[in-house]
Chain A
Amino acid sequence: MENFRYVKIVKAFIFIGIFFLFPLVSFAYSDKTTHPALTNEIVKFFNIHYPDLEIDDKERELIVQGSIDEDSFGRWMRHYYDPVYNRGITVAKKWQSSKEWSQDSKAQAGMVDSAFAGSLKSYYGHKGDYSWERAIYEYTWGDKDYGLSALGHILHFIEDATVPPHTRNDVHLVYLDEVFHDRSPYEHWASKFNIENIDVISTLGDKKPIELTTLDEYFDTVASHTNKNFFSKDTIFDEEYTEPVVDFYTIEKLSNSLTTSFGYRKMNGRSYKIVRLDKEFEWKKVAKDSSNGNYFIIDDDDLILTDYWNILSKQAVLNGAGVVKLFFDEVKKERETKTLAMKNRSWFKRVYDSTAGKVFNTSKAIYGSSVSYEDLQGSVIAAQEVVENEVVPEPEPEVVVEVKEEVVIPESEVVEEVTEEEVVEEVILGAGEVIDNPVAEEVVVKEVVEEVVATEAPVNNNSIGIIEVDRPFEGGGGGGIATVTEVAVVVVPPDSPTITSPASSGLYFATSTITFSGTASSTLIISNDYSNATTTADGSDEWELTLSGFSQGTTTIQFTAIDSDNVDSTATEIAVVVDTTVPTISSLTILECDNSLRTSACLSGGDTLNLSWTSTSTDIAYYGVIKDGVSIATTTATTSSQTLSNGTYSMEVVAYDNADNVATSSSQSVEISTMPIVINEIAWSGTASSSEDEWIELYNRTSYTIDLSDVVLVADDGVPYINLTNTIAANSYYLIERTDDNATSVTADLSVVFSGVGAGSGLSNTVEQLSLVHALGGQASTTLDSTPTTSSCSSAWCGGSDSSDYKSMERISVSTAGTTSSNWSSNNTYTKNGTDVGGNAINCTPKAQNSVSLESIGYYCSEETSSYLSGGYYTPGAGCIYLSPTLSGNKYGDIYRGTIASSTIVNGHSIGSNATSTEQIDTLSSPIQGEDYFVAIYPAADLTAFRSYFQTGGATPPHLNYGILEWKYGTAP
């Protein structure tokens, strides 16, 4: 006997020792900014919409801390859920998904504790268990703070499901933040949001928390939304995932002036940036396999990541608040059903309940009491038979469980026989076996159960039906037998149908007919509370139902699955918003057209158009700016600035409301022509007759008459500041003379004092920078043209001279920017136009082509398609034309063999004063391949001097009024 007792003691020690020898190793690392920020927003948003369930500050801190603590080592590898393949991350092994992990109490308890959970230990006993059920259990029955902390852990998972890598099997090593760093640019960028600076709530408008019926639904909904609509860095167009797809690409300019192509995706009537595409260098095409080729989710203005955040953070808050609501609903349900409370009880405790219940009911029967054992325990009738199978963590096992209990009250002997100690002994010896009632009692119970079942109809809802049958005392005095039989019938309803389309609740539709689809177990009938229409889930567990006749506004529909026993599932609710009203949009206004440079059409002298419009609609989702029928930008504002190249465009704006109804503004044709008018010549030093006879010439490069009424000519120091008047004809000049029209003999278009906003008047003889500025109705202005800055030419004018030759500063090319210093030079004194007030010829060309912009001479032979080019190889044929379009006076043209100053003359011809060309036959004697030749044209009056110079170099050219074209004989090597 003593040995037997020692055996029991040792065995007890063994089991106790085993528990103490298996500490669970745990790690903890904090998640610093984004998770606590989102969790805090979720709680705040929840409090706004559920004030009756308001979470106070202390409770909020617990939840936030819980969401931080979830990122400890050993746990973070289970933060991934890929809804496409229903898996967690697959690194080194297949890790449990966050969807499962969050609801797997045993897995969170660890290997050892889970083995004894629910048997020798409480089911919810381990400190590392922050599962969904644990959260509900603790908040309802145990440590409320623990429950809230666990809720925070759950919210962490929901937040992770809005991070693309977490739903697309894209591992980024978060392990030991001080060791590795987050590879995900999205998480890197989003880490700037903290509790102090995050503001998602204000962007939600009138949206409400998304209410779903199970935590699984939240995981599936959120993770699917993320997976299907967003890329992660290393899964862009990954072959494992068919979505997302890009709906269209646009080329846009970034703030650093670089252009790139953005890929957009449409969702809920809006377009957002999803990817960016590089133009590839040739060598990069070889390296395409190294990464995602030339696709990225980053850009220099963070536009893509901002779009990602704007959508995903909202999903986190909307769904997170829904999870919190679901949590409190489950807590309320637990208080009524006590399901988790029972689940938590170890075998020992359940047996104790059963025994204690028998003892109590014995006493009650003997001594009488209005209190039941259940009332004392505050739990459902104990000794519930639990089928020990793997389905325990899963909801709604599809079995009907009969629970029976009988209390036999023979006398007080029962009290004496059934002791705690002996019950303990039986448990230990019979570990793993279901506790059965004594055989003798069982026989009686069976009979009663059958009878009860035969008379009661099945329960048609998800409730426990308890049927009591009381039998009176039998027999006369001296005691009797009172038998109470209770039968609990659990009817398991079918799973609620899931709705996959529409993808979420509250979507907008521009039609009153909407097709709903989703999944449900095959053969279940899907019904709804909107109409009598039903459908049946097919063999692929899919269903689809089209409902019509929706009125404008929001309609909430509940879908229910019904099985063959006519048992309804819990309803799945979804709201749709029907809006068939087309939005309004006013006419499109373009600032540059309201202040056009042309009176009969819209001409902008700058490359930026400022568009504006209005709309009285209140449900506008966004506007699209359309150029020649193609969308080039979207905005939620009612203004837009677009920079375009020269050309003529048709501009429109399209309004899209939340239901994708569309309205288009009137179109506006606009032509962009930069530098339409330019500053062409400046006589800053005046003339020999008067230094104050300054003048400025403008030139119109376009083929239109330009209205100058909104154009000013202004110096950098404000003097002069000249308001131009009237118009300037196409391809024509506009002469502005100082003070009066006497500066030159050429008629001025405007005579005005050269004063301005500062003191003094006139042009400086040192340097100024002049600009032509087009005012846009006082709201903005465009600089049409400018001369070089004052420092461009060593703090002096870039051309021209003062005494004694008073040369003007001439622009070389009207097509080259005026700010380019090399585009200016001095009049060459040979090509001139007009006289000064004293009758002296002026070294300028007012209202005539500038001397420095004259074309060079030409030599055109008929077998060629254009004039000879300098340095080219040619074989002249029968006749060639000497071209001299601009040299003034009587001209002469020679052809030489050799190089300048070392040549012989082949032939020469007079071109004359009025002609600009002459066709001649020049026969080359025995020309040699590669031999040098040149053509020279110069004033005939200087024939001797020039010929001497060109042949022997004996004299320098008498002046620069000549042209040369050098070429070689033969064919190019």
Chain B
Amino acid sequence: MKLLNKTSKGFFIGFVAIVAGSIAIAFIAVYFSPEARFEREMASLQEQYANDTYGGDTPEETLELFIQALEDGNVELASKYFVVEKQTDWLDLLKKIKSEGLLNNMISDLNREKYEHIIGDKQVNFSIANDKNEIALTILLSLEVSGKWKILDM
């Protein structure tokens, strides 16, 4: 009887250890799985997007804010009106446009008449024509998770 109890106790401890170890392995495996890693990356990006409050409640308002920032010479602020993943690239480009003395040209063209077109309930584009009535600029805007409209493409 004594031998049996000692053995059972040992086996029970071993069993618990193995189960606990299996749970730990399972957790680690799931935690480091590609899907879980990707989910954490997306959650981080989601937070970044949700906290990005630059932009207007309407596409027109976003464009006005963007143009106003350019008129103030504030290209850093102007770049904030693009979608998050494009803000860095556009900041560089706006700086380049400014350094080449073309910012006023850009502002002037952006202040031309805009022709709005609705692609879907969360995407619209504006067309701007040159003096010959040829479309010379297409601005694509998207309604983001923050509830603000952002420039997706230009």
Give the nearest-CB partner of B153 in chain A.
A291
Told that A179-B46, A180-B49 touch, could you supply 19 new A-B pairs with CB distance under 8 A? A22-B22, A25-B35, A74-B35, A179-B50, A181-B122, A181-B144, A183-B142, A188-B119, A257-B133, A258-B115, A258-B134, A278-B135, A278-B138, A281-B106, A283-B100, A283-B102, A290-B86, A298-B119, A298-B138
| B140 contacts chain A at the CB level, 8 A cutoff | yes
Which residue of chain A is the closest to B142 with respect to CB atoms?
Answer: A181
In the complex, are the beta carbons of B11 and A6 less than 8 A apart?
A: yes
The reply to whether A300 and B127 contact each other, CB–CB distance below 8 Å, is yes
24 A-B residue pairings within 8 Å (CB atoms): A6-B8, A17-B18, A111-B33, A112-B26, A112-B29, A175-B42, A180-B46, A181-B144, A181-B145, A185-B123, A254-B135, A256-B115, A258-B134, A279-B132, A279-B134, A286-B93, A287-B154, A290-B86, A290-B90, A290-B154, A291-B153, A294-B138, A299-B117, A300-B127
Inter-subunit contact A179/B35 (CB<8 Å):
no
CA distance A93 to B93 in the complex (A): 29
Answer yes or no: A399 CB below 8 A from chain B CBs.
no
- Contact partner of B18 among A14, A95, A111, A280, CB < 8 A? A14
The winner among A17, A188, A278, A294 for most chain B CB atoms within 10 A is: A278
Q: Closest approach, in angstroms, between the C-beta of A601 and any C-beta of chain B? A: 30
Find the A residue at minimum CB distance from B90: A290
Residue-wise interface mask of B (1-39) relative to A, using a CB-CB cutoff of 8 A (1 in contact, 0 not):
000100110010011001100110010011001111111
Give A269 to B106 CA distance when docked, in angstroms: 42
Whether a CB of chain A sits under 8 angstroms from the CB of B125 is yes
Q: How large is the interface on A (under 10, 10 to 19, 20 to 34, 35 or more residues)?
A: 35 or more
Provide the bound-state CA to CA distance between A10 and B26, in Å.
20
A25-B30 contact, Cβ under 8 Å, with A281-B109, A286-B93, A286-B100: yes
Q: How far apart sit A233 and B34, CA to CA, in the bound complex (Å)? A: 27
For residue A13, CB closer than 8 A to chain B, the reply is yes
* A73 and B123 alpha carbons, distance in the complex (Å): 24
Q: Does B130 contact A (CB under 8 A)?
A: yes
Q: In the complex, which residue of chain B has the Cβ closest to the Cβ of A93?
A: B34
Judged by a CB distance under 8 angstroms, whether A242 is at the interface is no
CA distance A837 to B15 in the complex (A): 128
Residue B41, interface by CB 8 Å: yes
Whether A77 touches B130, Cβ cut-off 8 Å, given contacts A21-B19, A279-B136, A282-B102, is: no
What 9 pairs across the A-B complex have the smallest Cβ distances? A188-B120, A283-B102, A300-B117, A260-B135, A279-B134, A283-B106, A279-B136, A287-B93, A74-B35
Q: In the assembled complex, how far is the CB of residue A76 from the closest CB belonging to chain B, in whole angstroms?
A: 11
**CB of A851 to closest CB in B, whole Å:** 35
Scoring B7, B122, B133, B143 by chain A CB atoms within 10 A of each residue's CB, the highest score goes to B133
Cross-chain contact B109 with A283 (CB below 8 angstroms): yes
CB pair B115–A280 under 8 Å, yes or no, is no
Q: Which of A581-600 contact B (CB under 8 A)?
A: none
Partner of A179, one of B23, B41, B49, B136: B49
Q: Which residue of the partner chain B has the closest CB to A14?
A: B18
Judged by a CB distance under 8 angstroms, whether B69 is at the interface is no
> In the complex, A14 Cα to B14 Cα: how many Å?
10
Chain B residues in 8 Å Cβ range of A18: 22
| A6-B7, A185-B119, A258-B129 known; A291-B19 Cβ under 8 A | no
Q: Is A178 an interface residue (CB 8 A)?
A: yes
Q: Is B89 an interface residue (CB 8 A)?
A: yes
A residues sitting closer than 8 Å to B (CB atoms) are 2-3, 6, 10, 13-14, 17-18, 21-22, 25, 73-74, 77, 92-93, 95, 111-112, 173, 175-176, 178-181, 183, 185, 188-189, 191-192, 233, 254, 256-260, 276, 278-284, 286-287, 289-291, 294, 296, 298-302, 305
Q: Are B35 and A22 in contact (CB under 8 A)?
A: no
> Do B46 and A302 have beta carbons less than 8 Å apart?
no
Please tell me if the beta carbons of B133 and A258 are within 8 angstroms of each other in the complex.
yes
Residues of chain B within 8 A (CB-CB) of A21 are 19, 22-23, 26
Chain B residues whose C-beta falls within 8 Å of the C-beta of A302 in the assembled complex: 117, 119
Question: Residue among A95, A173, A176, A185 with the most chain B CB within 10 A?
Answer: A185
Assuming the contacts A185-B123, A279-B134, A289-B93, asked whether A22 and B26 have C-beta atoms less than 8 A apart, the reply is: yes
Residues of A within 8 A of B135 (CB): 254, 258-260, 276, 278-279
Provide the residues of chain A in CB contact with B153, threshold 8 Å. Answer: 233, 291, 296
Q: Which residues of A contact B23 (CB under 8 A)?
A: 21
Within 8 A of A (CB), among B29-71: 29-30, 33-39, 41-42, 46, 49-50
CA distance A258 to B86 in the complex (A): 28
Question: In the bound complex, what is the Cα–Cα distance between A188 and B145 (angstroms)?
Answer: 16
* Total B residues in contact with A, Cβ cutoff 8 Å: 62
Smallest Cβ-Cβ distance to B135: which chain A residue? A260
In the bound complex, CA of A192 to CA of B123 (Å): 13
Q: Would you call the interface of chain B mostly helix, strand, loop, or mixed? A: helix
Chain B residues positioned under 8 Å from A17 (CB to CB): 18-19, 22
Q: Complex Cα distance A302/B38, Å?
A: 35
Closest chain B CB from A281 CB (angstroms): 5
B152 at the interface (CB under 8 A from A): yes
- A183 & B37 in contact (Cβ 8 Å cutoff): no
Which residues of chain A are near B140, meaning CB under 8 Å?
Answer: 185, 296, 298
Closest to A191 in B: B120
Please name the residue on chain B nearest to A284 by beta carbon: B137
Contact with A along B62-101 (1 / 0, CB 8 A): 0000000000000000000000001001100100110010
| Most chain A CB atoms below 10 A, which of B49, B125, B135, B145 | B135
Judged by a CB distance under 8 angstroms, whether B111 is at the interface is no
Tell me the number of A-to-B contacts counted with CB atoms below 8 Å. 156
In the docked arrangement, what's the CA distance between A181 and B122, Å? 8
Q: Once the chains are docked, how many angstroms separate the CA of A327 from the CA of B110? A: 55
Q: A10-B11, A92-B37, A259-B135 are in contact. Are A192 and B120 (CB under 8 A)?
A: yes
**In the bound complex, CA of A93 to CA of B32 (Å):** 13
- CB-nearest residue of chain A relative to B33? A111
Residues from chain B with a CB closer than 8 A to the CB of A278 are 135-138
Contact A281-B137, Cβ < 8 Å, known A185-B123, A258-B127, A287-B97: yes
Of B8, B50, B153, chain A has the most CB atoms within 10 Å of the CB of B153
Point out the residues of chain A lying under 8 angstroms from B4, CB to CB.
2
Smallest CB separation, A129 vs chain B (Å): 16
Q: How far is B153's CA from A662's CA once the two chains are assembled, in angstroms?
A: 41
B109-A10 in contact (CB<8A): no
Q: Closest B-chain residue to A92, C-beta based?
A: B38
A183/B120 in contact, CB under 8 A: no
Q: How far is the CB of B33 from chain A (nearest CB, A)?
A: 7
**Chain A positions within 8 Å of B8 at CB level:** 6
Contact between chains at A281 and B119 (CB < 8 Å): no
- Does A282 lie within 8 Å of B15, measured CB to CB? no
Residues of B within 8 A of A188 (CB): 119-120, 122-123
Q: Which residue of B lies closest to A257 (CB)?
A: B133
Task: Write out the residue numbers on chain B whose beta carbons fall within 8 Å of the beta carbon of A286.
Answer: 93, 96-97, 100, 102
Kindly provide the distance from the CB of B88 to the nearest chain A CB, expressed in whole angstroms.
11
- The answer to whether residues A284 and B136 also contact, given A14-B15, A191-B120 and a CB cut-off of 8 A, is yes
CA distance A10 to B33 in the complex (A): 30
Distance A111 CA – B11 CA, assembled complex (angstroms): 29
Min Cβ gap A296→B in Å is 5
Contact B46 A280 (CB under 8 A): no
Report the separation of the CA atoms of residues A284 and B128 in the bound assembly, to the nearest whole angstrom: 12
- Expressed in whole angstroms, the Cα–Cα distance for A191 and B96 within the complex equals 38
Once the chains are docked, how many angstroms separate the CA of A159 from the CA of B33? 28
CB-CB under 8 A from B127, the residues of chain A are 256, 258, 260, 300
Cross-chain contact A180 with B145 (CB below 8 angstroms): yes
Contacts of A282 in B (CB 8 A): 102, 105
B18, B103, B143 — which one has the most chain A CB atoms within 10 A of its CB?
B18
Q: How far is the CA of A126 from the CA of B19 in the complex (A)?
A: 22
- B136 and A280 form a contact (CB under 8 A): yes
Q: What is the CA–CA distance of A326 and B23 in the complex, to the nearest angstrom?
A: 43
Chain A contacts for B142, CB-based, 8 A: 181, 183
Most chain A beta-carbon contacts within 10 A, residue among B7, B29, B33, B136 = B136
B94 nearest in chain A by CB position: A287
Which of B100, B117, B125, B130 has the most chain A CB within a 10 Å cutoff? B117
B39 contact set on A, CB distance < 8 A: 73
